[in-house]
Amino acid sequence: RKEINLWAAAATNNLILEILPEGSLTDLSRFVLTNAIYFKGAWETRFPKKLTEDREFYRLDGADPVEVPFMTLPGECQLFVSYNEGFKVLKLPYKAGDDAMSRYSMCVFLPDEEEGLHDMVRSLEEVGGSLLDHVPMYHSSVREILLPMFKLSFFCGLSKVLRGLGVQEAFSKEADLSGIMEKSVCDVRLDEVFHKAVVEVNEEGTVAAACTAVVGRKKQCARRSLEFIADHPFAFYIVEEVSGAVVFAGHVLDPSSSQ
């Protein structure tokens, strides 16, 4: 367990110090499959630290607002912003890396209503298609942009989720894992799947990491706005635009909390 956690820490630049919690391995444990991803992106246009100031962020269900640091850009800016029915989208590109074939951005989906996050997500699911269908491709003039700094951490066991999605046999006595196991190891099945992700956003850019361990055992509308003020719950997606792959995703409900 210690060796695997040290591997996860090294693979994620110490963003994730533990992927296997206490008690996750027993005398019946036979194998652990792990993978990790580490992402560090600098904004193409950085937010000046001297302009960051505390403002109120309004939470769901009438909870008291919290004071958190908000990043902003000076004056009127040309940004990637689209205005849709019920929500707007801000795309913040990251600086290009060594791989010219990849292009990463953070896309912030902000509902118009303070309590509109769940309805927005539901409507996106009903419409279907790709998230990139809603992401702006051209610059718009934005008078003011405010985006809170945040750090999110998420950990869970995924076995129940996977079973709910129909992955049943791999967790049962009928499991056949011979394709990944040596012939000398028999009678094994999946026991638990752990997943942990950390995402941190500040004036310079984004640092994110995710690690998973598998334990086995015996279109825009006409309405326009000149502001993008993310002072209430929103969704974010870090996407690779060439492939359309979503690398990280999350909901910011309270930027003052890392959970």
Q: For residue 71, which of 199, 205, 259 has the smallest C-alpha distance?
A: 205
In the chain, ranges of CATH 3.30.497.10 domains: 2-41+171-216
Q: Which run of H or of E encompasses 125?
A: helix 117-127
Q: What is the pLDDT of residue 86?
A: 92
Tell me which of 3.30.70.260, 2.30.39.10, 2.60.40.2130, 3.40.190.10 is the CATH number of domain 48-151+229-252.
2.30.39.10
Q: What is the pLDDT of residue 250?
A: 92
Q: Exposed (0-12), middle (13-18) or buried (19+): which is 249, by Cβ within 10 Å?
A: middle
Q: What is the pLDDT of residue 215?
A: 63
- Cα gap 82→104, rounded to integer Å: 18
Q: Which amino acid is at 217?
A: R
The phi-psi region of residue 143 (left if phi > 0; otherwise alpha if psi is between -120 and 50; otherwise beta) is alpha
Query: pLDDT tens string for the chain (259 positions)?
Result: 788 888 788 877 777 788 777 877 777 776 677 777 778 889 998 999 999 999 999 999 989 999 999 999 987 888 999 988 899 999 999 988 666 667 889 999 999 999 999 999 999 888 877 788 889 998 888 889 999 999 888 777 777 888 888 888 777 777 776 666 665 555 677 777 777 788 888 888 888 777 766 666 553 343 455 789 999 999 999 999 888 889 888 999 999 986 5
- Cα gap 26→29, rounded to integer Å: 5
- Cα gap 242→103, rounded to integer Å: 6
Give the Å distances, CA to CA, from 226 to 108, 121, 235: 16, 23, 20
In the chain, ranges of CATH 2.30.39.10 domains: 48-151+229-252
| Three-state DSSP class for residue 193 | strand
Which segments within the chain are labelled E, that is strand? 31-42, 53-57, 66-72, 77-84, 87-93, 104-111, 139-142, 144-148, 150-157, 190-201, 205-216, 227-229, 234-240, 245-252
- Could you tell me which CATH number the domain at 2-41+171-216 has? 3.30.497.10
